[in-house]
Structure 1
């Protein structure tokens, strides 16, 4: 995880206000490269040795890169630099082909690349890393975080070019589509269902395995843990794949809610304790060793009302351009879940279950939809992940110097999910049918029956203030 801040010198004052946010994203290294009318800055969160200093410079070319690649060499930044710069053809077509090649890599990333007075910048196909920009007569500024006036970069193969000589910004689309449309297939043969479910399990396991790129064999990791179906599946798969000397921290957050006059025994806290017990029991059954109870660490994070209020302004800036009541309640939950605790054990790598609901019809509204209507809704849910969820979550979690990874948004898993028949998503009563069947295969019978509960309600980060009960999630912030 790194921070990106690139700007022409008309935006020096704006860059100064954003720099502390960029620095917090990557506390292990901070680099600056100055050109005549451009400055490129990068912070680095080191997740493997040795640290790769950024911005990376190759000849006259400069790269600021934030992310992880999973199907190439582990020298991610070098691989990206080579992909973008190793061409004898400097035409715009050749550069577009190089960027399109980069989009084909499986990984979670954003980049800014400077060559011959042209700035190229983009997020990965699904926009799993944040990148925003602002352009006016003063030039341009591109950053991992923003403030009013900034625009979030589009995803799904969109990249941008900015000509420093003419102050012209252009938007481009890659010619190839990585993802198929949501399948409208309604049913499948009963004999085929076990094959589909096995395929879902194996593909998800491979997605988790790819993301267990760790600094050392005994590295601990964490999971954003409500106790629900998606995060518990991830915790179990990580348990199966992680070396036995590593621990898995289950991060569960609960808020003091003054409106409901409740403390920390929230719905998600109660569920997390039950799912934690199921995970420990599963591990003991698998290896017959009572010491398996040391594998999982349920980390109960209690947030007093005053502490939540004190963090509000910073969280509002981090989540921008997202600016609704619902965005704030979700962002507060993730902000405190990722916050380092008093313990010296604070894993830098956090796994998120985001994407499962959008791909496998996990929301209650999906149960009222059938056939083509459900397929259309799922297509909409999938298409708005980059600007509705992913940019916001990256900005909020990364402010705590954490690297968040999304196995449910792995390219292979997404392709499989989009092509899965609708009968394995929702039948009008249950949601995420395929994932519930996977949970049964993994000896998680209790969690396989859990219904979806949004984090802001499960952790009670929504409507905490007295008198806020009539607010709606889509309402804007005052």
Structure 2
């Protein structure tokens, strides 16, 4: 999928105080900070296969019957197909006015589709025969059965149409539905495995459901109504005009466009629309609903059963015997044949169980539908590449690449996207080239395409402004550095080393290359779950195992706000979909079931004890060289942090003294 949005206007939205931030309960007004067309343009930049929009127009209806709805709705059909992608030439869908004197409010849905599953093209928003409307951005990897040639959104729409409205505050009639498939919307969304964000209009109850998965793997930004803009807005990405400085775009509370959006907290929400008894205006009440799946609730709590080892357990894990090392090397031969799907590891053990979970996670995220295979063939260039890896040559990306080789058919090449701000001298470029050589040893028949993306921060003027709009509402230098590196890597505009021809004394000839993959596997979540950050070692030294566990738990419970929304927006802007194998529900569960002292041993030096379990997984895969590499964050490995520090603070030393990574960028003028 690609991106979604809704604009709710003409409705007084009542937001309860239980939501994270207090809001102004504003009456409907004509003052607008963002237009419909700006929202659509932001989604269109992502290069979707289609973009559609629909209006739900709400009318007040006098009725003496309590049982009868006093709100009626109609759907504004803008084009026969619902496709408004042609507006790049100036044509646009109808804006939020001109619906007639009896119209009280409307919900304007926009859906952009990068179709990666299903046999036939799909245009969002989806609408069924009962008037229900869905815009969906996500992938279903479990909980609901979706065959390889079915579309996630269409299958989910069928299930949603069978849901009752028992959890909706606006639903006053006793629900008579029962039996299989008639659960509430929160019940259904709680069982889905995989990343998602959605907005769903339930026609029968005049309720709009919205939310994002429990770990926030898909972006969804929200603007709660304020005096500056009384609409409720939801979107996958903010319009670029979010960062245009203008004194007349600040409301009476001092909040302007820069503070307009916030990351929607993970969960399921509803907006139940009814009429006010006092003035017969439309009123919408927002509710936050609890997850109902106990397994999901346990994962979100992120509670580990074994945190502090006993003395004898610590003694047993100090060092592995040579015999155990030999067993691990033998287990490395237990591999899954390419393209044959996941298999169980034959050697029992903790690291083997994690390897199995990771292997199945990558397999789920690299299965290609008939339609996506056809798209891949159209872009074939010396071996088509449907799936890429965000690649530093470090531990996490090497594990993903090796597992992708096992899961993807041999006929496909694999793109390894590597970005550098210091040419061939950046640490990530050096480790990437070494990593490719190691991958070639364990998978010599695979064509590995190391896409070397070279960047110069001084020349990225317009690109920097654009990435600032993508990372919004994040706005620190660290966010910008990471966002730029991810955006450039996902764009995939770089160079390949041509192995078929020599370039004289310079070695292999470099050829210009543009990535064609539409799926990018990313290693997010590995450091948070396996104690890969420097602060983890600090917490361990200060508070031992309990302190380490609490810091890791904090990282996982805030990853949606600090990392995933930002990363999803930066990668999706290039017409690619980010998928996170380490954040698969089964992988998270497997890691939580492993004692903490088996995850990491932070008494050991860097490159040995940090992410200890992943280093064991790497050895099982035959990746012995990368198994001892220290952790490097992308902003340091690509050297964008160094260049940013010199540019904005004068030197690395001055930047360190100012804690540059956490310094906020307040507007374009402060970083250009």
Question: What TM-score comes out, normalization by structure 2 length?
Answer: 0.65
Alignment of structure 1 residues 176-191 onto 2, 5 Å: 176=294, 177-179=297-299, 180-187=302-309, 188=313
Match of 2:441 among 281, 289, 295: 281
Counterpart CA distance in 2 for 1:330 and 1:150 is 20
Query: Matches of 1:109 and 1:15 in 2, distance apart?
Result: 23
The answer to whether structure 1 residue 29 and structure 2 residue 208 are counterparts is no
Map of 1:145 onto structure 2? 237
Which runs of structure 2 are paired with 1:65-464 in the superposition (5 Å)?
Answer: 65-71=136-142, 72-73=145-146, 74-89=150-165, 91-92=167-168, 97-116=184-203, 117-136=206-225, 138-146=230-238, 147=242, 148=258, 149-155=260-266, 158-164=267-273, 165-175=282-292, 176=294, 177-179=297-299, 180-187=302-309, 188=313, 195-214=349-368, 215-216=372-373, 220-256=386-422, 263-284=423-444, 292=445, 295-341=447-493, 343=513, 345-368=515-538, 369=540, 370-428=544-602, 429=604, 430-464=609-643
Q: Deviations over 1:22-71 (max 9, x none)?
A: 11224210111112222111111122432221000012111000011112
**Root mean square deviation, CA, Å:** 2.3
Cα contact 1:183–1:418 (8 A) shared by 2? yes
Give 1:324 deviation, angstroms. Answer: 1.1
SS at match of 1:389: helix
User: Where does residue 288 of structure 1 map in the other structure?
Assistant: none
Q: Is the 8 A contact 2:209 2:271 kept in 1?
A: yes
Change (3 A) 1:88 1:441: closer
Q: Which has the higher contact order (CA 8 A, sep 6+)?
A: 1
* Residue equivalent to 2:7: 7
Task: Tell me how far 1:88 sits from its aligned partner.
Answer: 4.7
Contact 1:23 1:30 survives alignment (8 Å): yes
Bigger Cα displacement from structure 2, 171-180 vs 77-86: 171-180
Deviations 1:421-458 (A, max 9, x none): 11122212220111101111111000000110111010
1:44 counterpart residue number: 113
Report deviation, 1:106.
1.2
- Quote the residue 1:53 is aligned against: 123
User: Is the 1:326–1:473 Cα contact (8 Å) retained in structure 2?
Assistant: yes
Report how far residue 407 of structure 1 moved.
Answer: 0.6
Q: Could you say which residue in structure 1 is the equivalent of 2:37? A: 16
Q: Secondary structure at the match of 1:269?
A: helix
Shift of 1:219: 5.2
Distance 1:454 1:219, change over 3 A: closer
Measured after TM superposition, the shift of residue 296 of structure 1 is 0.7
Q: Secondary structure at the match of 1:7?
A: strand
Distance 2:187 2:436 in 1: 42
Deviations along 1:324-343, one digit per CA (max 9) or x if unpaired, are 11111111100000014253
Between the aligned partners of 2:352 and 2:167, the Cα distance in structure 1 is 46
Offset, 1:96: 8.2
Relative distance call for 1:90 and 1:380 in structure 2 (3 A) is closer
Q: Contact 2:522–2:579 (CA<8 Å) still a contact in 1?
A: yes
Contact 1:25 1:44 survives alignment (8 Å): no
Note the alpha carbon deviations across 1:374-413, whole angstroms, 9 max, x for none.
Answer: 1111101111111110000001110111011111000000
Contact 1:318 1:392 survives alignment (8 Å): yes
Structure 1, 414-423 or 463-472: larger mean CA deviation: 463-472
Where does the alignment leave 5 or more consecutive residues of structure 1 unmatched? 257-262, 285-291
Q: Shift of residue 12 of structure 1?
A: 8.4
* CA offset digits 1:332-368 (Å, max 9, x no partner): 1000000142535510100001101000111122223
Query: Equivalents in 2 of 1:304, 1:87: separation in Å?
Result: 52
User: Per the alignment, in what secondary structure is the counterpart of residue 476 of structure 1?
Assistant: coil
SS class of match (2:51): strand
Shift of 1:104: 1.7
Task: Tell me the number of residue pairs that the alignment of Structure 1 and Structure 2 aligns.
Answer: 462
Which secondary structure does the structure 2 equivalent of 1:366 belong to?
A: helix
CA distance in 2, matches of 1:3, 1:250: 25
Partner of 2:373, secondary structure, is coil
